[in-house]
A and B are shown apart, each in its own frame.
Chain A
Amino acid sequence: MSTHLWTPPQRQGADELDESWYARSLPRFATGYFLLGAVVVAALLHLILGVGVVLAILAAWVLFVVALSITSRFVEGGRKSRDRLATSLVCSAFLIALVPLATLLYEVVSKGASVLSAQFFTYSMRNVIGEGGGIYHALMGTLIVTALTALMSIPIGILTAIYLVEYGNGRLAMAITFLVDVMTGIPSIVAGLFAFALFAIFFGTGVRMGFAGSVALSLLMIPLVVRSCEEMLKLVPNELREAAYALGVPKWRTILKVVVPTAMAGIVTGITIATARIIGETAPLLIICGATDSTNLNPFSGRMMTLPVFIFDQYRNPGIPPQFYVDRAWGAALVLTMIVMVLNLAARLVSYYFSPKTKA
């Protein structure tokens, strides 16, 4: 019996197959060159032909996208070309989304930064006409109203979320979910009117107080807290609950010591972002907290200034010359933006430090 090794049949076009693994591609920085070209074209259009800036940028952008994908079509083929087209469109959308944020920050910082001073933070507007004065009363008002809002909304929101995720099934849970969804969509002015109507029952129609403002803001904050906490609690794997049950741990202790700690990072982040979201609310506070030039640290009596209302008030009722009032409005806007930014950064840090560690 003769042995011979089996040799595979020579396949037709095997060389071509190997060839096809190597595709031609544009040089590494092709996108950069095309972008540079587009910028040059935009500059030429603007400087030589006198085309408007926006139109020139738009034309250059169209040129960039079209030229890049057509060149790629001929050099690299259809799939790479479509990839480059999609990549440029996605990146363009991102840049467009960034434009309002960047310009807003620039505007607020450039107009507000010059106003900030020790006096700006420590003086109220009492007896101030024209230059001087500060936001002390509004800053304290915002902090007090927001703290009270958080104090009311966080427990109610977290407990509602725990009910929905851990206990709720059937009609009641569905009804609560529906109502929370509806509450998420309540216009803030309606929340203000509700608080006004509610407190008018007890204190008469002229009522203005900081606490009523936090009641109005709570209506807006609770659904945000419920929603974010609910999502976070749902992310906790069921296996952890079962692991705790199997050790003979009662349900309430499992929730308190396993489920909530595991979801803590997300819960705290959600709460911080909800706080940042309501701290800039203006409409309800305008109705129920009112506006004042004096410092009022008692949330249960009398008008209380807050930063959003302060900004509105400085713009709405400027004195003569109006410049000082407009400057103060921008300064207050910058402070408010900074508070929101600090809250968001805090949320990031919190989620970093609270999240369960897996690395040794």
Chain B
Amino acid sequence: MAKSIDVSDLDIFYGSFKAVEDVTIPLAARSVTAFIGPSGCGKSTFLRSLNRMHEVIPGARVEGKIVIDGRDLYDADVDPVEVRRQIGMVFQRPNPFPTMSIYENVLAGKKLNGKRMDKATADGVVERSLTGANLWNEVKDRLKKPGASLSGGQQQRLCIARAIAVEPEVLLMDEPCSALDPISTSAIEDLIHELKESYTIVIVTHNMQQAARVSETTAFFNLAGTGQPGRLIEYGPTTKIFSNPDNPATEAYISGRFG
């Protein structure tokens, strides 16, 4: 199921502004890759370009190659909607659909696409996804309640359940814990550990301990100054990046000397 992604020479633009420059990085399957770096260095922008969510913003475009499964995501004949079906995303702020119940939120990816399924299949998908997101025991008795009635941490796990219900190849997480308390954060980190058995996970985080805890590979992004494009400074095994990075800027950042 999980697939690896190869990014080469990627430039990302907002209109005429180049936000991210010259990124080349392989993202391994069945492992967690963490992006760290100061605010505004293009981590989230790069993440959003991985499932073609970047181009939703007017004027935004991408140059370069993102190859998954031997195909370039940005080929002219690739449908961005199909790409997003295979590469799921979890956002910084939990965003369950307010008009839907917990049950409907989990099935949103299928129901919104007009797929019909019988009750038993739907129940199975809901239970499997909520169990996968470590939420089943907390909500199994109130599946018909609105998704917005859950706490912030539960909502975020509901959003993860919603993302894995469509069985994507890759799961992108854009600071999934930044709006959550330590207990919910720990729950989601445990979940990431379980999910990497079957998914390729890419996570953006501002929390370096979190990157060290959850990821196999860490990539450090930085920008030379305001108005300059962000760049990938270095990437490597998380243990190496946090103990003996090649680049002095990486060391300065992880040791807390700036950023």
Contacts and interface: CB of A to CB of B under 8 A. Distances in A.
Nearest to A256: B112
A248 B89 contact: no
A360 B142 contact: yes
Interface string B57-85: 01000000000000000000000011111
Contacts of A250: 81, 113
B109 interface: yes
A56 B142 CA distance: 63
Contact of B166 (A237, A248, A253): A248
Interface stretch (B145-153, B207-215, B217-225, B226-234): B145-153
B33 interface: no
Contacts of B89: 246
B19 interface: no
Contact of B91 (A239, A248, A257, A360): A239
A262 B56 contact: no
Which has the most chain B C-beta neighbours within 10 Å: A246, A357, A359? A246
A170 to B, nearest CB: 9
A202 to B, nearest CB: 42
Contacts, number: 90
B128 interface: no
A258 B163 contact: no
A169 B86 CA distance: 29
A167 to B, nearest CB: 11
Nearest to A250: B81
B33 to A, nearest CB: 18
Interface stretch (B92-100, B183-191, B236-244): B92-100
A356 B98 CA distance: 6
Contacts of A242: 53, 56, 91, 95
A249 B97 contact: no
Given A246-B89, A247-B108, A360 B145 contact: yes
A246 B164 CA distance: 11
A357 B85 contact: no
Contacts of B56: 241-242, 245
A356 B148 contact: yes
A258 B142 contact: no
B157 interface: no
A254 interface: yes
Contacts of B99: 258, 261-262, 264, 356
Nearest to A254: B112
A360 B154 CA distance: 14
Nearest to B172: A246
A244 interface: yes
B146 A243 contact: no
Given A242-B91, A245-B56, A360-B142, 10 more contacts: A240-B95, A243-B91, A243-B95, A246-B53, A246-B88, A247-B109, A248-B85, A253-B113, A356-B148, A358-B146
Of all A-B residue pairs in the complex, the 7 with the closest CB atoms, nearest first, are A248-B85, A356-B98, A246-B89, A247-B109, A360-B149, A239-B95, A248-B84
26 contacts: A239-B93, A240-B98, A243-B91, A243-B96, A244-B108, A245-B53, A246-B84, A246-B91, A247-B113, A248-B109, A249-B113, A258-B99, A258-B112, A262-B97, A264-B99, A356-B98, A356-B146, A356-B148, A357-B98, A357-B149, A358-B146, A358-B149, A359-B146, A360-B142, A360-B145, A360-B149
